[in-house]
Chain A
Amino acid sequence: GNSVTQMEGPVTLSEEAFLTINCTYTATGYPSLFWYVQYPGEGLQLLLKATKADDKGSNKGFEATYRKETTSFHLEKGSVQVSDSAVYFCALSAPNAGGTSYGKLTFGQGTILTVHP
């Protein structure tokens, strides 16, 4: 079946440091890939997405590139801010063996990011 593996957290950084959160996946067919962010006590917000190989999703200074050869979708940001402190989820949507997905998302376990001033 489909699965997503994220790097173990929590991740603690100083402001302006470089961020990488690793994400690898296993899926049938050609999945769409997503990064969602969850701020404390809130629901999930879509951060960025990529829908085919070599696509780069970007938003708010965050980037991730869909790498089919390594089945990865690592999240990066060149200079983090205190306001980036949140939980980050990698997710995919892929068809099942019958060729349908019903829009279901498969999530990684989430990575807690804390940025200190």
Chain B
Amino acid sequence: DGGITQSPKYLFRKEGQNVTLSCEQNLNHDAMYWYRQDPGQGLRLIYYSQIVNDFQKGDIAEGYSVSREKKESFPLTVTSAQKNPTAFYLCASRRSTDSYNEQFFGPGTRLTVL
């Protein structure tokens, strides 16, 4: 079955540590996205990538970094510079030929910084 996997589902880290969240898709989609979800605030875009080896900042990129070395993978690193990292993180992908821009989402990773 095609889809998007995110791991781990729950992640706990100490303050000041960097942490990397995994996102893998086997949908053969070119574009991938990272969102952050906080209660009552909807989803906010962190980074996105249209093709391999290229990515752009979204609306709240400060304190985060990404890489896109493979089409299937788009890992997100939450650095110690992110002031309030505790949140639910969602990865999504899109077929670049889809002019209506429907995105497919993974199950999410809940990060808690202690």
Tell me if A25 counts as interface (CB < 8 A to partner B): no
Chain B residues whose CB sits within 8 angstroms of the CB of A4 once the complex forms: 42
Residue of B nearest to A101 (CB): B101
Tell me if A17 counts as interface (CB < 8 A to partner B): no
Chain A residues whose CB sits within 8 angstroms of the CB of B101 once the complex forms: 32, 93, 101, 103-105
Give Cα A46–Cα B100 distance, bound, in whole angstroms.
13
Band of interface residues on A:
20 to 34
Tell me if A43 counts as interface (CB < 8 A to partner B): yes
Q: Given that A42-B108, A104-B45, A108-B42 are contacting pairs, would A32 and B90 also be in contact in the complex, using a CB cutoff of 8 Å?
A: no
Chain B residues whose CB sits within 8 angstroms of the CB of A93 once the complex forms: 100-101
Q: What are the interface flags for B27-65 relative to A under an 8 Å C-beta threshold, 1 for contact and 0 otherwise?
A: 000010100000011111100101000001010000000
Give Cα A36–Cα B56 distance, bound, in whole angstroms.
24
Tell me if A45 counts as interface (CB < 8 A to partner B): yes
Give Cα A44–Cα B106 distance, bound, in whole angstroms.
7
Contact across chains for A102 and B48 when beta carbons are under 8 A apart: yes
Chain B residues whose CB sits within 8 angstroms of the CB of A49 once the complex forms: 100, 102
| Residues of A near any B CB (own CB < 8 A) | 4, 32, 34, 36, 41-46, 49, 51, 89, 93, 101-105, 107-110
- Extra 12 A-B pairs, beta carbons < 8 Å, given A36-B105, A104-B48, A105-B103: A42-B108, A44-B90, A44-B105, A102-B31, A102-B48, A102-B56, A103-B48, A103-B94, A103-B103, A104-B33, A104-B101, A105-B43
